[in-house]
């Protein structure tokens, strides 16, 4: 990582000295969703070169924001993950994502599809706990070939990747459709009627989910 510092006695400038390089916050975004292999990070960050990713990861390790470990057999893969210092960026990342939502393009045409890391952060950013105080429900989102668990319990949100045996409802869709629903560019009724979303369980759960966590819910 190039050492280009602002050299100011300012907390914001010091933060940017550490995480202000291009791609750095997006790497942290991916790791907020959980440990990732190098190849996972490349896939979730379309446009980054492997050399630049290696450079950014090295810098983040040196700053104590990212660590690495080897998974136990049979996987044996090396994964990168956030340290407690890196995890402490979550609130700031969520707030920055909320602010950035006003600049989202009107459609997905011509832009890279969001990664699962970006999707996870978006759900966190636009979750409305005040609308979920009496709700206890587990959603399993199958988006393309990835699976995300979303658990809502008494106004609290928890998410992790992978299947659950206790899902109240399962959604199957693609990333363009999910993002269209999430951003309010696609109506749930039309998506279900056209077969763009398949639901195992209570169909009304889709509406509940979007009322709790979507850009539309935030503006409504």
Asked if residue 176 and residue 82 are part of one domain, the reply reads no
Asked if residue 207 and residue 145 are part of one domain, the reply reads yes
Total domain count for the chain?
A: 2
> Does residue 67 form part of some domain?
yes
State the CB neighbour count (10 A cutoff) for residue 140.
22
Q: pLDDT value at position 3? A: 62
Token code pair at residue 64: 């104590």
Asked if residue 128 and residue 179 are part of one domain, the reply reads yes
Domain extent, residue 123, equals 116-219
Token code pair at residue 138: 């587990």
| Sheet strands (E) in 144-220 | 146-153, 156-161, 169-173, 198-201
Q: pLDDT value at position 166? A: 83
Asked if residue 159 and residue 78 are part of one domain, the reply reads no
Q: pLDDT value at position 134? A: 87
Q: What is the CATH number of the domain that holds 68?
A: 1.10.10.10
> Does residue 66 form part of some domain?
yes
Q: pLDDT value at position 218? A: 56
Q: pLDDT value at position 219? A: 53
Asked if residue 124 and residue 75 are part of one domain, the reply reads no
> Does residue 43 form part of some domain?
yes
Q: pLDDT value at position 175? A: 95
Asked if residue 149 and residue 79 are part of one domain, the reply reads no
Q: pLDDT value at position 48? A: 98
Asked if residue 177 and residue 127 are part of one domain, the reply reads yes
Q: What is the CATH number of the domain that holds 204?
A: 3.30.1050.10
**pTM score, two decimals?**
0.89
Asked if residue 121 and residue 84 are part of one domain, the reply reads no
Asked if residue 128 and residue 81 are part of one domain, the reply reads no
Q: What do you get for the CA distance between the two ends of the chain, in Å?
A: 42
Return the closest-CA partner of residue 82 out of 60, 56, 97: 60
> Does residue 110 form part of some domain?
no
> Does residue 133 form part of some domain?
yes
Half-sphere exposure of 34 (CA within 13 A, CB side): 12
> Does residue 61 form part of some domain?
yes
Alpha helices in 33-75 (DSSP H): 38-44, 50-62
> Does residue 172 form part of some domain?
yes
Q: How far is it, in rounded angstroms, from Cα 218 to Cα 20?
A: 28
Q: pLDDT value at position 96? A: 96
Could you tell me if 185 and 95 are in contact, meaning their C-beta atoms sit under 8 angstroms apart? no
Tokens 């190849």 sit on residue: 39
Could you tell me if 113 and 179 are in contact, meaning their C-beta atoms sit under 8 angstroms apart? yes
The tens-digit pLDDT sequence of the chain (220 residues) is: 456 899 999 999 999 999 999 999 999 999 999 999 999 999 999 999 999 999 999 999 999 999 999 999 888 899 999 999 999 999 999 999 999 988 988 888 889 989 999 999 999 999 999 988 888 999 999 999 999 999 999 899 999 888 888 889 999 999 999 999 998 889 999 999 999 999 999 889 989 999 898 886 655 5
Q: pLDDT value at position 217? A: 61
Looking at residue 127, what DSSP letter applies? B
Domain final residue pick, 88, 104, 126: 88
Sign of CA dihedral 78, 165, 145, 100: negative
In 3-state terms, what secondary structure has residue 208? Answer: helix
Could you tell me if 82 and 90 are in contact, meaning their C-beta atoms sit under 8 angstroms apart? no
Asked if residue 214 and residue 127 are part of one domain, the reply reads yes
> Does residue 96 form part of some domain?
no
Q: pLDDT value at position 1? A: 46
In 3-state terms, what secondary structure has residue 202? Answer: coil
């Amino acid at each position: 990582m190039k050492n280009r510092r602002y050299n100011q006695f300012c907390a914001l400038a010091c933060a940017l000295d550490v995480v202000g390089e291009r791609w750095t916050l997006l790497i942290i975004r991916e790791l907020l969703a959980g440990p990732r292999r190098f190849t996972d990070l490349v896939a979730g960050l379309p446009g980054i070169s492997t050399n630049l990713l290696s450079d950014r990861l090295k810098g983040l390790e040196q700053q104590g924001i990212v660590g690495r470990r080897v998974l136990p057999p049979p996987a044996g893969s090396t994964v990168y993950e956030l340290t407690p210092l890196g995890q402490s960026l979550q609130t700031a990342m969520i707030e920055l994502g909320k602010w950035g939502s006003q600049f989202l393009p009107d459609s997905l045409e011509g832009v890279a599809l969001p990664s699962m890391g970006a999707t996870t952060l978006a759900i966190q950013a636009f979750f409305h706990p005040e609308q979920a105080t009496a709700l206890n429900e587990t959603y399993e989102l199958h988006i393309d070939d990835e699976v995300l668990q979303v658990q809502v319990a008494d106004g609290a949100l928890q998410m992790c990747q992978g299947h659950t045996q206790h899902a109240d409802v399962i959604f199957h869709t693609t990333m363009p459709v999910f993002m269209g629903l999430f951003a309010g560019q696609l109506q749930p009724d039309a998506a279900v009627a056209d077969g763009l979303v398949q639901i195992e369980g209570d169909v009304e759960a889709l509406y509940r989910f979007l009322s709790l966590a979507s850009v539309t819910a935030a503006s409504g």
